[in-house]
């Protein structure tokens, strides 16, 4: 992305922020968080630019057939910033053995709908790949390039791309797990529910869905995020005036769904999540069960909003979560040590980072 495009996106985003201090504090803490952890990122970043990862694969619309602009897109120049790329983390060794196909995990990460990027889960994706999973990490347009509907459109386009192309990389199209985290969990859950409302010929198919630290009740979430620095005006611009239509909790409550079309659902949350509390997952689980939709769920004691993919992976203590995720994706038991994590010799950097973590 060119420098002028970054500046343009930043200016477009700032235009939705009222004068205040909360968002400034949040940005300062995010910058500090990243800088404190920087010494631990060297080794996994070298892995990212090494063998076994196919970077920046385009999944967007064909030339001459641009995706429709969302109502939140502020102008044609900003809209042209391209985010329709994904990274493929090939199973360890770069190829499958014989004719064996690899289970596929599509990772859609969060970032408050504004700073999401496909590098957020790069340590987790490398670890999963080292245990035989073909990981697809999706980038998508953030606000102000588009609103929630534009983001969901991008994610669904990526899912269809996976169905059409992942066989070339020995991926198993009959064993695809869609994984969403935070805002990514909101967007993917919204997509999964909408997908179950469509005619069969218009649906995509994923076997399993995993939501991590998800934002499922958008109506109740706005005031909470406002206290964390995501201004209410910005939140409404992202979601639109009709919050219920973009809230998975309310869509589930009110919409008619073809429930057999839903994937197997698992929801995960940390008990120390201060950004999106575990009650959001617990309420969504209750509503799923009220609709007689089977759901597995698990609370991880003491885990924060970002522990699952950053701090724990850097510190080398993410075995419980990653093994749990591997069991879902591969449908095989996993209880051994996790490869591809642990990049600091002690917890000093991680403990300092946790103090300034805005999430």
Report the catalytic residues: 182, 273, 305
Please tell me whether the peptide bond between 233 and the residue prior to it is cis, using omega within 30 degrees of 0: no
CB 162 within 8 A of CB 176: yes
Backbone φ/ψ region at 88: left (φ over 0), alpha (ψ -120 to 50), beta: beta
Structure tokens at 80: 């042209």
CA end-to-end distance (rounded Å), the chain: 26
Exposure string of 109-144, with b = 16+ CB inside 10 Å and e = fewer, is bbbbbbebebebbbbbbbbbbbbbbbbbbbbbbbbb
How many Cβ atoms sit within 10 Å of the Cβ of residue 223?
Answer: 10
Q: Is the dihedral of CA 230, 233, 237, 239 positive or negative?
A: positive
CB 338 within 8 A of CB 314: no
Q: Do the Cβ atoms of 105 and 137 come closer than 8 Å?
A: no
Tell me the two tokens of residue 234.
């910005």
Axis crossing angle, helix 218-228 with helix 232-239, rounded to the nearest 10: 140
Instruction: List all residues 6 or more positions away from 219 whose beta carbon is below 8 Å from its beta carbon.
Output: 243, 244, 247, 249, 250
Spatial distance between the Cα atoms of 130 and 124, rounded to a whole number of angstroms: 10
Let me know: does 171 contact 101? Beta carbons within 8 Å.
yes
As given in the structure block, the two tokens for residue 327 are 């069991």
Q: Which residues pair with 86 in a beta bridge?
A: 57, 138
């Amino acid at each position: 992305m060119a420098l002028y495009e970054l500046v343009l996106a930043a200016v477009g985003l700032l235009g939705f922020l009222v004068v205040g201090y909360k968002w400034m504090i949040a940005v300062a803490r995010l910058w500090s968080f990243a800088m404190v952890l920087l010494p631990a990122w060297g080794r996994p970043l070298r892995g990212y630019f090494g063998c076994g990862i196919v970077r920046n694969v385009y999944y967007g619309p064909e030339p001459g057939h641009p995706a429709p602009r969302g109502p939140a897109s502020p102008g044609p120049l900003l809209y042209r910033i391209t985010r329709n790329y994904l990274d493929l983390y090939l199973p360890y060794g770069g190829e499958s053995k014989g004719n064996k196909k690899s289970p596929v995990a599509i990772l859609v990460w969060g970032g408050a709908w504004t700073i999401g990027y496909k590098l957020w889960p790069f340590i987790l994706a490398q670890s999963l790949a080292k245990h035989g999973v073909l990981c697809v990490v999706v980038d998508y347009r953030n606000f102000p390039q588009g609103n929630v509907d534009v983001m969901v459109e991008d994610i669904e386009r990526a899912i269809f791309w996976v169905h059409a192309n992942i066989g070339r990389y020995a991926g198993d199209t009959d064993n695809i797990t869609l994984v969403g985290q935070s805002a990514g969990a909101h967007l993917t859950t919204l997509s999964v529910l909408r997908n179950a409302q469509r005619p069969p010929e218009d649906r995509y198919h994923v076997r399993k869905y995993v939501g991590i630290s998800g934002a499922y009740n958008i109506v109740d979430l706005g005031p909470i995020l406002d206290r964390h620095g995501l201004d209410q005006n910005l939140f409404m611009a992202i979601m639109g005036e009709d919050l219920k239509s973009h809230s998975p909790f309310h869509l589930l409550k009110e919409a008619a769904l073809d429930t057999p079309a839903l994937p197997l659902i698992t929801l995960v949350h940390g008990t120390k999540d201060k950004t999106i509390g575990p009650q959001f997952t617990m309420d969504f689980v209750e509503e799923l069960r009220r609709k007689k939709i089977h759901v597995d769920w698990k609370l991880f004691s003491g885990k924060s909003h970002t522990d699952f993919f950053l701090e724990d992976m850097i510190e080398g203590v993410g075995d419980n979560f990653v093994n749990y995720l591997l069991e879902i994706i591969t449908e095989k038991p996993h209880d051994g040590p996790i490869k591809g994590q642990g990049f600091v010799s002690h917890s000093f950097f991680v403990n300092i980072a946790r103090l300034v973590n805005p999430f």
